[in-house]
Chain A
Amino acid sequence: MSKRPLAPWLLILPSFALALFIVSYPFFNIVWQSVHEVSRFGQVRDFSGVANFATIFADPVFMTTLWRTLVWTVCVVGGTVLVAVPASLILVQDFYGRGLARTITMLPWSISLTMTAIIWRWAFNDEFGLINLGLQQLGIINQPLHWLADPALAFPLEIMIGILVSVPFTVTIFLGGLSSVPTDIYEAARMEGANAWQQFRKLTLPLLRPFINIAIVLNVIYVFNSFPIIWVMTQGGPDNGTHILVTYLYELAFRLGRPGEAAAVSLVMLLMLLAFTGLYMRMQRGEHAE
């Protein structure tokens, strides 16, 4: 039978149309705003062509922020995977109290990101933060450190918190992956005389590979767009030193009152993510072809 039935297509058409509308309406709206002058209160004024894009690319803050966003994404995602792989290897072992350990690992996930960020902001407070207090009482430092006063210290801290909050989700993916690995291949490996490192390199890692891949893709998208940690802790300051694109765009739209330029920034962000996804999918395909 070469004739394809039409009914299934007709049946999914309404939901498809709805989904298309929900996805495309904001997209076209953003494109529309990005090529117009938009007032502080959102009135679309004159058509301005690529003026908004020209303005943001001429802004040195935008360019440094762009680089910082890449550093942020690479460090947080990379750090997360580096922490999550050993963590999940431990958590997959059968040991006393494993349930509790797993729960503790997952716990940060259940708290809203904004709340986590607020707690850290307080923890790193110069005068009465628990970090300074703890370090002073342990005698490690004798003067309170000014964690958030200088971007050189504040930004790495934000990256560390970024890693901390991304770990639970990533560990969950890896645990799922590890539970699907058959145990008999390890027995076979042991009989062949493979040591623990060889088992990890030759068995665990290749089998975990697809899960690491999906974790990287999803985390890149989340982390690249992650707003609360940086906004709550430093609002992109001091001296624009901790902005990433998403906080920069928020500041443009809702503080400086230039929604048109903010729309342009968000399109640039979308293009970057698309480029990343495209590149990544190609790499994947190349690997499969081998």
Chain B
Amino acid sequence: MTRTHTKILLSLGTALLGMSTAHAETVRIAVAHYSDQTLPYFEKMAKEFSKANPGITIKVEEVNWDSLQQKLQTDIVGGTNPDLSIVATRWLLDLVKDDVVEPLDARMTPSFKDKFIGAFINSGKVASKTYGLPISASARGLYYNKAMLEKAGYSNGPKTWDEVIAASKKIKATGAYGFGIQGKEIETEIYWFYSLWTNGGEVVDANGKAVFDSAAGIKAANIYKSLIDQGLTQPGVTSNSREDVQNLFKQGRLGMVITAPFLAKQIQKEKPGLQYGVTAIPQGSNAATFATTDSLILFKNSKVKTAAWQFSEFLFSKAARVAFTSGEGFLPTTKEEAADPAFNDAVTQSFISYLPTAKFAPVIAGWEDLSKIVANAMQAVYLGKSKPEDALKAAALQANKMLKK
């Protein structure tokens, strides 16, 4: 080997060494696939962040919602989990119990803490420590087809369940379906909770005991059952997933459906001509809606916590939040974001106005079991296999066994 060669090699070597000492950190983040815009958004954020913070590379891993829990489970057991991840807020309890998530309170400056809308930051707390930052939030409202409801005499949408029934009868007479009920797959139980909550019922009481078999619960189930029996819903309720019911609404074949703000985004993209309105979930005895958040968490075993936290702060800066929330059709979780004109439209504003009456899924162990038990009970009711009262009593008994109450 000649001398020049040696020199070149040496200088190459030092260059490589120099590079590795210059804080080359990689932060891995797992994100849920909310829509086709999710991955491009996070990749754009990663690029912008790396430009402002040379030396930190962000690696985005996008996972389907259905497989996210499975991916994290496999990763955590194998010790190959990412540094940051989006999780369903209700998983926090298990993650904290397994001691795999980092409490964030010490890292949050007072001004950072103050960014958030109270209800949303509180949803990420377990035993008064903050483990999750509310990255996405959503509430539910009633979408109604303007033309159909105008003809039925409720041009601003029905306000009560009685009005829903009355309007559905008139819509049925025109050949369309009145009120859509979801009877299959993810959120089947939530769809019934809308009726339960607005009739004054509760899923679990303050002690974490299942009480959805109350008089309000039976009334709520009877409302849905009578809608089905009178043919006021779409037929074959138990073969309709959330997407199926939404599709019927988009096609203009369904008068009313309860769902999240993202349906407005989909209509805008797929069926911009559809004339629809959004109003609060119909009331029985009181107003209520369901609100849900997903959280951004930091894993305890991360080796690049500081860099990961820096990226989290970046994701919660105003511009990043506005782009994400408006792109996905979620609700703002930070105050400065909520004040942005991007959320000034009527639909988002009405969803925001429902938040004071919002119920969150309680952070209790066994919530998934309870959801599944309720979904099965409601399917049995919808199919006419059991009476609402019997189904609910049996389900509550079973749920309390799971909840150890």
Q: Is the CB of A40 within 8 A of B73?
A: yes
B77 contact set on A, CB distance < 8 A: 41-43
Min C-beta distance of B96 to chain A, whole Å: 10
Within 8 Å of chain B (Cβ to Cβ): is A186?
Answer: no
Q: Is the CB of B238 within 8 A of A237?
A: yes
Task: Tell me which of A42, A144, A237, A238 has the highest count of chain B C-beta atoms within 10 A of its own C-beta.
Answer: A238
Query: Which stretch, B118-126, B157-165, B372-380, touches the partner chain A?
Result: B372-380
Q: Is the CB of B379 within 8 A of A237?
A: yes
Q: Is the CB of A149 within 8 A of B73?
A: no
Q: Is the CB of B383 within 8 A of A41?
A: no
Known: A146-B236, A149-B236, A237-B379. A256 touches B98 (CB 8 A): no
A238 contact set on B, CB distance < 8 A: 183-184, 238-239, 376, 379-380, 382-383
What is the bound-complex CA distance between A59 and B83, given in angstroms? 38
Q: Is the CB of B73 within 8 A of A259?
A: yes
Min C-beta distance of A215 to chain B, whole Å: 33
Q: Is the CB of A239 within 8 A of B376?
A: yes
Chain B, 222-256, CB within 8 A of any chain A CB: 234-240, 244, 247-248, 253
Q: Is the CB of B236 within 8 A of A43?
A: no
Task: Tell me which of B95, B100, B238 has the highest count of chain A C-beta atoms within 10 A of its own C-beta.
Answer: B238
Within 8 Å of chain B (Cβ to Cβ): is A172?
Answer: no
A237 contact set on B, CB distance < 8 A: 184-185, 238, 375-376, 379
How many interface contacts (CB-CB < 8 Å) are there between A and B?
Answer: 95
Q: Is the CB of A255 within 8 A of B368?
A: yes
From B69, B98, B240, B377, give the contact of A126 (CB < 8 A). B240
B247 contact set on A, CB distance < 8 A: 127
Q: Is the CB of B76 within 8 A of A42?
A: yes
Chain A, 120-173, CB within 8 A of any chain B CB: 125-127, 143-144, 146-150
Within 8 Å of chain A (Cβ to Cβ): is B156?
Answer: no
What is the bound-complex CA distance between A125 and B184, given in angstroms? 13
Within 8 Å of chain A (Cβ to Cβ): is B74?
Answer: yes
What is the bound-complex CA distance between A148 and B241, given in angstroms? 11
What is the bound-complex CA distance between A239 and B239, given in angstroms? 12
Q: Is the CB of A146 within 8 A of B185?
A: no
Within 8 Å of chain A (Cβ to Cβ): is B70?
Answer: yes
From B94, B97, B184, B376, give the contact of A240 (CB < 8 A). B376
Min C-beta distance of B255 to chain A, whole Å: 15
Contact with B along A216-240 (1 / 0, CB 8 A): 0000000000000000001101111
What is the bound-complex CA distance between A39 and B31, given in angstroms? 22
Q: Is the CB of A41 within 8 A of B235?
A: no
Min C-beta distance of B72 to chain A, whole Å: 6
Q: What is the interface residue range for chain A against chain B?
A: 20 to 34
Q: Is the CB of A147 within 8 A of B69?
A: no
Q: Is the CB of A144 within 8 A of B69?
A: no
Known: A39-B98, A149-B238. A256 touches B372 (CB 8 A): yes
Within 8 Å of chain B (Cβ to Cβ): is A47?
Answer: no
Min C-beta distance of A201 to chain B, whole Å: 44
B383 contact set on A, CB distance < 8 A: 149-150, 238-239
Q: Is the CB of A235 within 8 A of B379?
A: no
Min C-beta distance of B189 to chain A, whole Å: 12
Q: Is the CB of B379 within 8 A of A41?
A: no
Q: Is the CB of A41 within 8 A of B376?
A: no
From A42, A148, A240, give the contact of B239 (CB < 8 A). A148
Contact with A along B74-90 (1 / 0, CB 8 A): 10110000000000000
Q: Is the CB of B248 within 8 A of A41?
A: no
Q: What is the interface residue range for chain B against chain A?
A: 35 or more
Chain B, 179-210, CB within 8 A of any chain A CB: 183-185
A42 contact set on B, CB distance < 8 A: 73-74, 76-77
Q: Is the CB of A144 within 8 A of B98?
A: no
Min C-beta distance of B376 to chain A, whole Å: 5
Min C-beta distance of A40 to chain B, whole Å: 4
Min C-beta distance of A262 to chain B, whole Å: 11
B372 contact set on A, CB distance < 8 A: 251, 255-256
Known: A127-B248, A149-B237, A238-B238. A41 touches B72 (CB 8 A): yes
Chain B, 374-393, CB within 8 A of any chain A CB: 375-377, 379-380, 382-383, 385
Min C-beta distance of B131 to chain A, whole Å: 13
What is the bound-complex CA distance between A126 and B239, given in angstroms? 8
Within 8 Å of chain B (Cβ to Cβ): is A78?
Answer: no
Q: Which residue of B lies closest to A127 (CB)?
A: B248
B368 contact set on A, CB distance < 8 A: 255-257
Q: Which residue of A lies closest to B236 (CB)?
A: A146
Min C-beta distance of A228 to chain B, whole Å: 13
Min C-beta distance of B124 to chain A, whole Å: 17
Within 8 Å of chain A (Cβ to Cβ): is B114?
Answer: no
Min C-beta distance of A237 to chain B, whole Å: 6
Q: Which residue of A lies closest to B369 (CB)?
A: A256
Min C-beta distance of A251 to chain B, whole Å: 8
Within 8 Å of chain A (Cβ to Cβ): is B91?
Answer: yes
B379 contact set on A, CB distance < 8 A: 237-239
Chain B, 37-74, CB within 8 A of any chain A CB: 69-70, 72-74
B377 contact set on A, CB distance < 8 A: 239
From B94, B234, B248, B385, give the contact of A39 (CB < 8 A). B94
B376 contact set on A, CB distance < 8 A: 237-240
What is the bound-complex CA distance between A256 and B370, given in angstroms? 9
Q: Is the CB of A150 within 8 A of B238?
A: yes
Within 8 Å of chain B (Cβ to Cβ): is A280?
Answer: no
A235 contact set on B, CB distance < 8 A: 184-185
Chain A, 239-273, CB within 8 A of any chain B CB: 239-240, 251, 254-257, 259
Q: Which residue of B lies closest to A61 (CB)?
A: B376
List 20 interface pairs A-B (beta carbons < 8 Å), by A numbering.
A39-B94, A39-B98, A40-B98, A41-B94, A41-B98, A126-B236, A127-B244, A144-B235, A146-B239, A147-B239, A149-B236, A149-B383, A234-B184, A235-B184, A235-B185, A238-B238, A238-B380, A239-B383, A239-B385, A255-B69
- Please name 14 further chain A to chain B contacts, defined as beta carbons within 8 Å, in addition to the given A127-B253, A238-B382, sorted by A numbering: A40-B91, A41-B76, A41-B91, A42-B74, A42-B76, A42-B77, A125-B244, A126-B244, A127-B247, A146-B238, A150-B383, A237-B238, A237-B379, A239-B238
B-binding residues in A (CB < 8 A): 39-43, 125-127, 143-144, 146-150, 234-235, 237-240, 251, 254-257, 259
Closest A-B pairs by Cβ, 9 of them: A146-B236, A149-B239, A238-B379, A42-B77, A40-B94, A149-B236, A238-B238, A239-B379, A43-B98
